[in-house]
Homo-oligomer: A and B are copies of this chain.
Amino acid sequence: MQTVDDILKIKKVKSTAIRTVVLTHLLKQEKAQSLKDIENALIYTDRSSIFRTLKTFEENKVIHSIEDGSGMTKYAVCAEGCNCAPEDLHYHFYCTSCDKTFCLFDVPIPKIQLPENFKLQQANMVAKGLCGHCNK
C-alpha cells in the first residue's frame, strides 16, 4: 500500500502540510470530492490553497477531475500506475438522487470508433442514474 508521501514522491510533487492533508482526505473517500466538499472537511484550510493543491495534483496526475454535470467539478485519486492516458480511463457514475459521484475503476472505456483523423487524448465519461443505495 502506498502512503501519501510515496504517492507524492512518485508523482514528483513536493510534500507540504496542505498537500498531505488534502491527499489524505481524498484517499479516505468512497465518492469523488468537490472543492467545497474538501473545504467543508478541512475547515482550517483556505479554499484557494486547496484549489491550487488540486490543480497541482491534477497536473501531476495524482488525481483526476470529473465533470458530472452537478455544477461542481469533482476530484478523485488516480489508481496506482495511472498515467491519465486514454487506456487508463474509466467510467464514472453520478447518482441523481444523493448527488454522489463514483469512479467505476473496474469499468474501462471501450475503444470508441471516432470519425476519420480524430485523435483521442482524454475523456470525461459519466453515467447517471440511481446508485445502489438510492435505487430501492
Contact = CB atoms under 8 A, between A and B. Distances in A.
Interface of A: 67-69, 91, 93, 96, 102, 104, 106-107, 110, 112-132, 135
A33 B129 CA distance: 25
Contact of A107 (B113, B116, B126): B113
A115 to B, nearest CB: 6
Given A67-B67, A110-B110, A129 B118 contact: yes
Contacts of A131: 117-118
6 contacts: A69-B124, A107-B112, A116-B132, A117-B135, A121-B129, A125-B125
A124 to B, nearest CB: 5
A41 B102 CA distance: 38
Contact of A127 (B91, B112, B117, B130): B112
- 9 shortest A-B CB distances, which residue pairs? A117-B132, A121-B129, A119-B130, A122-B128, A119-B129, A120-B129, A124-B126, A119-B135, A67-B69
